Amino acid sequence: MTEPSGAARDPEAVSRFVESFAAQLVEAGLPRMPARVFAALLASDTGVLTSAELGERLRISPAAVSGAVRYLAQQHMVSREREPGSRRERYRVHGDQWYEALTNREAVIRRWEDALREGVTSLGEDTPAGRRLAETLAFFEFVEKEVEAMMGRWRVYREERFGRG
């Protein structure tokens, strides 16, 4: 599977972008290899690459690709699919990958909220630790509501700007 040849690109410039953006993702907390694989998928015109294509572009082993894709799939940042008529898998980054990743984080925040509520009850609302946990809980509740509202605004903006929902 090769990329369609739209505009001619400088492969070195593309590689520099991939490594630069991956470095930014690593700085934000994403492991290095998943960051590189994700950036390579984003930089591909189709948003779809096979393990061999990723390995070739990034000069990494099939095992490194596999581990990176497993991590990215768990984070809802990429999906796996079968190449039509083949047993080979290909990996796809979606236009809504940021939405999906953030939505996945909301589920984690809700679990933290449940744990914090239990902590406040266990420690007592009137203790210093209980008050600290209650404030942390209030922060996460606030963030959850703000993210939900923001994602609603994003869907409207995306539809207006890109014409898809």
pLDDT tens for 97-112 read 777 777 777 778 889 9
pLDDT tens for 103-158 read 777 778 889 999 999 999 999 999 999 999 999 999 999 998 998 899 889 889 98
Cα–Cα dist 33/36, whole Å = 5
State pTM to two decimals.
0.72
CB-based contact 20:27 (threshold 8 Å): no
pLDDT tens for 35-70 read 999 999 999 999 999 999 999 999 999 999 999 999
